[in-house]
Structure 1
Amino acid sequence: MRNRIFIGIIILSCVVALYAGYGRYTVESGYKNVEITGDLDALKAMADYAGMDTEELISKYKAEGMNSIAVNEVRLKVLQSEGKLSYMTRTDAAALGITSGNLALKRILASAEGFLPDSTVILTGDRSVYEFLAKNLTKRYDGVVYSTDGEYYAIAVNKPIKNLETDGLGFDTRDFELVKASGLIPVARIENYEGLRDRDIDEYINMLKSYGIDQVVFGGDEVLGNEEKIDYAGKRFKEEGIAFGIIELPVDKDYETQEGMSRFAKRAGYNAFKLFSLSEKEMAAYDKIEMADKWYRAVIDRNVRMIYVRPEIRADKPGVYNVNFYGDTIAVFKGYMDDIGEKIGKIVPFKEYHVPRILQVVIGLGVVAGSVMLLDTLIPLSDMMAHLLMVLGTLITIGTLYSRFFDLGVKALALASSVVFPSLAMAYIMRVCEKKQGSFISYTVVNFVKASLISAVGALYIASIMADSKYLLKLDFFRGVKVSFVAPVVYFLVLYFVRYFRKDLNLRDKIAYILNLNVKVWYVVIAVVAAVVAFIYISRTGNNPAVGVSDLELQFRSLLEHTLVARPREKEFLVGYPALILMLGFVYQGFKKEWSFVWGIFASIGQLSLVNTFSHLRAPLGISIERTIYGMVLGIIIGFVYFVVARYILGYLKRKWGVGV
């Protein structure tokens, strides 16, 4: 009766979780289209290197699939590369002024007498460049003086040249006109600066509106707004419906890629899209397929919608080669998108989504019920104690989710789900292994599916209780990955020892029995192999694994990605799921009970990995479901192949050397 009540609570929680999960699926389905976005500064540099007009290069890449261009704010370094100005330190400018007849320079040096020795002096003969810089530098920095003698123009800024030369200094709106004339989508790459005021933010927004621009990515290490202006900037973006990009790093990091992004996104209503860009080093080193595969993987696994292309000139190759290389790479990637039905078009940004608090509480009750049932598998509980723990867990859940510790409560419930339900799945399998019934196929496959469904409850809880815009956009994330990978395996070891190992002995005698056990060599061999596998397994978990992936495995992954799209995880279909089939198969065929312990360790890896798949919240829910189904189907098939091979090898060992199995 008691378990029926707990199972009823879990079923109710699953129904609620399905509802919340469907809301998430709807939001993810509305977040669509992919933009291949070229960086205008990089495209200009590439065109210049190849001796082409920028318009000609843009037209070529548009034909290959590029459909948007990001316009950067003006930078001194870029203007100098284009021959529109020169700049130097005040010290160097003073040396030049001794022999130069440039009266503007001499006046500037006199006005900048108290400036830092490494402050910046800018010289130009272009009046429009001078007027643009004088206006924008004065707006952004203190200590700006400028002068002209009618022919030459000079500006001094009391800021070190190494800091100033790469700062954004406002937009040259002719760049927006160039992009719009090409028929591509213009994206503004806005940079933050100190002293930003409300009216400056409004000026940015008015400029965007005047050019019909509603997509922005932030340059530099910060979002727009500084500490005191982020809220206002986010509010204005929300009011005007301006979508913004959230950078997705090639390697996962547990922190914001740009300072202030979480706060800005919240104020802006999460009207965002994920952006992915390879580093300069990667762009200069990868071949076409490697580069396109990285972009493809970002779309599939990370729900990225903007592929930011900043072509890196390969100086050892001629201009025509460089132009064609990146054009071909874009074409390959577009082909990948066509193959999987992803439209190259203007991004429909993410919409704000939050699960109602009361639904999260109900889901949390399911986690509590599962936790009590799990504890009961190790320490038999009386009805009164079980109910008392359920009530206590309910009060803690409600109290936490309706307090300032809400985020901590959600993450704790998600972590508990990742541990409890894979562990319950293995507890179920151990009970099944006590008595075989039915045919071999039904015994192995049916119980495999039942155990996986128990684990899937934990996956459902994680996918729904954390179905929030900030998690789906990876502004926050699931915590405790390594714990979720280790705890179910540890639970299985404890469960086996407490409940199934030498049932005729009490706990103290069991420990004494193990300490006095005569260990056979083949036990040691299995233990060493298991230890090596465990080391590799733990080392490759988390966002920044200590053990990398081999080239051969990368090729295998690429094959699966392009064949199945939702690539199943190797630890599931090559290790965990087959081990569960082996565990059940060995019991059915009457092998020694100790094999349940050996295969059970690896089988628990498959069950916990099933749940862990759904803790990668940035991956679309549909992809995670497909990935799990593919893994289960392949795992069952491979499991039967392993079983035939293992039975043959163990039979041979028994016949040849009399090794008992």
Structure 2
Amino acid sequence: MKKNGIILIILMIGLVVSSLTAFERISIEGQNKTVDITVDYLEIEKLAKQSDHDMKWWFSQFKDMGIRSVALNEESFETLLEEKKPIRLEIVGNILGALNWQEKYPKSVVDYLNSTDVDDYDMVVTTNDQGLYQFIKSALDDRYDPKKIKLFSEDNTYVFVLDGDIKDALFTQKRTLIDQESKPYKEETLLFGSQLMRLSLGLDPEKVNIVKASGLEVLPRPYNYQSWSGKDYVKAVLADYERLGLNPKYMIFGGKQVLGYPGAVGMTESYMKKNDVKLGLIESTVQREHIKQDGLEELARSLDYNSVRIFSVPPYIQKRFKFYNYEGAEEIENTLYRAITERNIRLIYFRPFMKDDRVYITDIKEYEKTFDSLKARIAEHGMTLGQASVMTPNRLNIWKKITIGWGIAAGVVLLISNFIVLNNKFKYGLLSIGMIGVTGMCYVLPSWADKILALTAAVVFPSLSMVYLFKRCRQYFDNKDKNPDLLRGLLIGIKDLILTSAISFMGALFVGSTLSDIEYLLEMDIFRGVKVAQLLPIVVFGLIYIIYFGYKRKPGEKMKSQLPIADIKRLLFDDIKIIYVVAGAIVLAAGYIYIARTGHETNIQPSTFEMITRNLLEVKLLARPRTKEFLIAFPAIIVAVYAARHRYRTIMFLAGLAGIIGQTSIVNTFSHLRTPMYLSVIRTIYALGFGILLGVGYVVVLEIGIRLLRLVRGEKLHG
């Protein structure tokens, strides 16, 4: 304390500001407690066709379960084709390459297609249905530039020619032609279609009426196609809503852009502000950030983050019926529960359960059971179903960020001082440089400052926790007591686990408060240093171990500095034995699995048994503790203390290596910024509690095993 008094004071000030900021974040998250559910119209239509009931019946049943709206896509040439309407879509390049193509079209169309006014990428739409013709013509007239559309009518045949270009074209993937000897002959791609087939034609009034008659709201999904979108298009879409009596609570865009992008987004923004329409951010399939759409994040900012995160149930989740040995849709329910409680999802885009790629589950009781259970489970977190709530747009004050950064800088100096001997002049000089650097970075590079400070905290504080642990282990190792008391040792181990974890928790607090901006909570921005923050402390752990226990250190050898160069030289120039190579390969493989399993972008997934165990804990507890923490890493610290007191150097090292994984995991838990902070705190407390119980058990088993081994060897036991 006397040596580092000023540094510790600055660290404490940073922690106080960080704690206050964390409480503000928890308060904001605590007000975000209402969850909404919408169902997909097309999926319910397919479900109804496989059941004994019509769509109105299904919609009314879902309404009774708490679902409030039906998501309805706008019609397009593609949907008309899928619904088997009397319509034909072709691309000019394919038409002109067909034999006797002129016989399929009226003479006026043939003459036009033979002219120089068309190219291969134009799309030709043909129908002989008067009503369908009127629907298409009205939609095109209201929405799009008439210069891009040609209409031909002859002998009850109606033909639209839409002006496309190569940017609209759709091609098959490249394929390779081979000769009879299987040698490559030629690579080719074929012109398949055009993106113009998805041009919006507006909502189908009949579908709108079906939804309304069921007592549900219509949630329209506008589709924007950049090269054809403009003010007329946006005006027609919004006029459609007014004409059909729609008041959407959310705007969930289809396609690659927001409505009106690029030149008419302002009209969409004005409509949303005037009618308090929330912007939908659809979570990506890897459960990180959201699906990218041009203009989406800019619109979110202009709406002052009046936005909700959406979980759109993907096909592979729909098919998790009777999954993991469940009797019904329990695993699908678990997925929805995790999305709501752990990832700030406030709108579920629901699709019905499926047995396989084609067959839907039509037993209404399965859906009732799932939603009743889901409502009860989220109620334990104070959540209810209703119109989705949004978070107050929290922005971290720059002076708070600077003060927190100073605390992190103090932690850096403390860590360095454990590796290199620093007198007060250098120590406080280094601290001053760090504080000035933090201040400058927060002003000059504000967007980078958040991430750099968070990454620094995520590395430094778990490393400091290992400094504390192995400083204590050195003391225990040097103790002259040859027969340490088991109960006292367990109490010491529990104490050291709690204190070690408390140091790491400081880093978690710094990360969670530094990255408490609304853009992180909505995952418009993310902390990208997670894997680095898990790997670097392991490297630092190795150095810490060498500092306190050396490497093949000679008896009586003294250190000239806190970083023993002689030990490092011995390690670097030591003869490599085959067993070292094997052990290294095992460690690398374990490390790869450890890092790969930290996200959702890998093929390495938990086993069925592990998932069943996780689900059981999830149902029984408010928050599921992380498996690696309570099963291995936290108990390992108690084991490390036991090993140090009994001078089992190898066991101590391996247990310490497992322990650092748990300490980085504490910070990693709080690095999942979409997870409410209170849940991360509860999860860590649970893990500590279970870890202590298992740690005690592991030590008792280890003690019994060692005693039995000594008996077999004929050694005399003491104590």
Give the TM-score normalised by structure 1: 0.89
- Does the 8 A contact of 2:319 with 2:356 survive in 1? no
User: 2:620 pairs with 563, 566, 572, which one?
Assistant: 563
CA contact (8 A) 2:321 2:353 kept: no
| Alpha-carbon distance in 2 for matches of 1:660, 1:306 | 67
Correspondences of 1:556-635 after superposition (within 5 Å) = 556-588=613-645, 590-635=646-691
Kindly report which structure 2 residues correspond to 1:267-278, keeping only aligned pairs within 5 A, or say none: 267-278=302-313
Over 3 Å counting, the alpha-carbon distance change for 1:147 and 1:525 in structure 2 is closer
Shift of 1:530: 4.8
| Aligned AA (2:378) | I
User: Once the 2 structures are TM-superposed, how far is the Cα of residue 60 of structure 1 from its aligned partner?
Assistant: 2.8
Instruction: Specify whether residues 127 and 659 from structure 1 end up closer, same or farther in structure 2 by C-alpha distance, changes over 3 A only.
Output: farther
Distance 1:426 1:314 in 2: 50
- 1:317/1:164 CA distance change after superposition, 3 Å: closer
Contact kept, 8 Å, 2:635 with 2:692, in 1: the verdict is yes
| Structure 1 SS opposite 2:308 | strand
Matching residue's letter, 2:333: A
Q: Which amino acid aligns with 1:3?
A: N
SS in 2 for 1:165: helix
Structure 1 partner of 2:63: 62
* Cα distance change on mapping 1:555 and 1:111 into 2, 3 Å: same
- Asked if 2 retains the 8 angstrom alpha-carbon contact of 1:85 and 1:122, the reply is no
In the superposition, relative to structure 1, how do residues 117 and 535 fare at CA in structure 2: closer, same or farther (>3 Å)? closer
Report the residue type matching 1:298 in the other structure.
A
| Aligned positions of 1:449-468 closer than 5 A | 449-468=498-517
Q: Which residue of 1 aligns with 2:417?
A: 376
Matches within 5 A, 1:331-410: 331-341=369-379, 342-403=383-444, 405-410=445-450
CA drift of 1:192 comes to 1.5
Equivalent position SS for 1:244: strand
1:250 maps to 2:306: no
Give runs of aligned pairs for residues 319-334 of structure 1, distance below 5 A: 322-324=361-363, 328-329=366-367, 331-334=369-372
* Counterpart residue type for residue 125 of structure 2: I
- After the TM superposition, which residues 286-301 of structure 1 pair with which residues of structure 2 at under 5 Å, given as runs? 286-287=321-322, 288-301=329-342
Aligned equivalent of 1:188: 220
- CA offsets per residue over residues 356-399 of structure 1, 9 Å max, x none? 11111111111101111111111121111111111111111111
What is the CA-CA distance between 1:330 and the residue it aligns to?
6.2
Question: Given the alignment of the two structures, is residue 648 of structure 1 paired with residue 704 of structure 2, yes or no?
Answer: yes
Greater Cα offset, 470-479 or 505-514: 505-514
CA contact (8 A) 2:470 2:548 kept: no
Distance in 2, Cα, partners of 1:71 & 1:254: 24
Q: CA deviation at 1:494?
A: 0.4
Provide closer, same or farther for how the CA distance between residues 236 and 566 of structure 1 changes in structure 2, counting only shifts above 3 A: same
Deviations 1:119-159 (A, max 9, x none): 43334455554333224335346531224469554423234
Amino acid at match of 2:609: L
Aligned residue number for residue 259 of structure 2: 224
Name the one with the larger helix percent.
Answer: 1
Aligned residue for 1:478, secondary structure, equals coil
Q: Which moved more, 1:366-375 or 1:20-29?
A: 20-29
What per-residue deviation string (whole Å, max 9, x for no partner) do you get for residues 56-107 of structure 1?
221233334433211111122322343443123156699898667x9xx554
Q: Deviations over 1:236-271 (max 9, x none)?
A: 534542102111123245775334432222222111
Distance (whole Å) between structure 1 residues aligned to residue 395 and residue 714 of structure 2: 62
Q: Match of 1:433, SS?
A: helix
Residue 557 of structure 2 aligns with an amino acid whose one-letter code is D
Q: Does 1:155 align with 2:160?
A: yes
In the comparison of the two structures, how many residue pairs are matched?
653
Distance 1:181 1:96 in 2: 49
C-alpha contact (below 8 Å) 2:629/2:687 kept by paired residues = yes
How many Å apart are 1:2 and its aligned residue?
Answer: 4.7
Q: Kindly indicate whether residue 275 of structure 2 is the aligned counterpart of residue 237 of structure 1.
A: no
Matched, 1:37 2:38: yes
Q: Secondary structure at the match of 1:454?
A: helix
Q: In the superposition, relative to structure 1, how do residues 233 and 439 fare at CA in structure 2: closer, same or farther (>3 Å)? A: same
- 1:504 counterpart residue number: 557
CA contact (8 A) 1:238 1:267 kept: no
Shift of 1:488: 1.1
Residue in structure 2 matched with residue 493 of structure 1 by the alignment: 542
Question: Are the aligned partners of 2:630 and 2:687 in contact in 1 as well (CA < 8 Å)?
Answer: yes
Separation of aligned partners in 2, 1:204 and 1:14: 51
1:543 CA displacement? 4.9
Choose the corresponding residue for 2:530, options 465, 478, 481. 481
Shifted more, 532-541 versus 4-13: the winner is 532-541
Q: 115-124 or 452-461, which moves further after superposition?
A: 115-124
**Shift of residue 605, structure 1, vs aligned partner:** 0.9
Given that residues 102 and 110 in structure 2 are in contact (C-alpha distance below 8 angstroms), is that contact kept between their aligned partners in structure 1? no
CA contact (8 A) 2:473 2:641 kept: yes
Q: Distance in 2 between matches of 1:291 and 1:600?
A: 38
Amino acid at match of 1:432: R
Q: How many Å separate the matches in 2 of 1:360 and 1:346? A: 34
Distance 1:202 1:422, change over 3 A: farther
Bigger mean CA offset, 297-306 vs 420-429? 297-306
Query: Structure 1: how far apart are the matches of 2:440 and 2:422?
Result: 25
1:26 maps onto 2:83 in alignment: no
Question: What is the CA distance between 1:213 and its match in structure 2?
Answer: 1.6
**C-alpha offsets along residues 16-39 of structure 1, whole Å, 9 cap, x if unaligned?**
112222222222222222222111
Q: Residue 455 of structure 2 corresponds to which residue in structure 1?
A: 415
Q: For the Cα contact (< 8 Å) 1:418–1:459, is it kept in 2?
A: yes
CA drift of 1:49 comes to 4.6
Give secondary structure in 1 for the equivalent of 2:125: strand
Counterpart CA distance in 2 for 1:19 and 1:133 is: 58
> Within 5 A, what are the aligned runs for 1:511-550?
511=568, 530=587, 532-545=589-602, 547-550=604-607
Amino acid at match of 1:553: E
Question: Which runs of 5 or more residues in structure 1 are unaligned?
Answer: none
TM-aligned CA deviation for residue 191 of structure 1: 1.5
Structure 1 position 587, deviation (Å): 3.0
Q: 1:214 aligns with which of 230, 249, 255?
A: 249
CA RMSD, Structure 1 to Structure 2 (Å): 3.4
Secondary structure class of the residue paired with 1:146: strand
Equivalent positions of 1:113-192 (< 5 A) are 113=114, 114-116=117-119, 119-124=122-127, 127-138=130-141, 139-140=143-144, 143-148=148-153, 153-159=158-164, 161-192=193-224
Q: 1:315 to 1:510 in 2, by over 3 A?
A: closer
Q: Distance in 1 between matches of 2:284 and 2:696?
A: 39
For the 8 Å contact 1:293–1:558, the answer to whether it is kept is: yes
Q: Which amino acid aligns with 2:464?
A: L
The residue type equivalent to 1:224 in the other structure is L
What's the CA shift string for 1:494-541, capped at 9, x where partnerless?
Answer: 012124324724435424655798999999997776555334323323
Distance 2:218 2:297 in 1: 25
Call closer, same or farther: CA 1:97–1:290 in 2, change over 3 Å: same
Identify which range, 622-631 or 166-175, moves more after superposition: 166-175
State the shift of 1:611 in Å: 0.7
In 2, distance between residues paired with 1:536 and 1:258?
A: 33
Q: Which moved more, 1:204-213 or 1:61-70?
A: 204-213
What is the letter of the counterpart of residue 29 of structure 1? G
1:379 is paired with a residue whose SS is: coil
Percent identity between the two aligned chains: 29
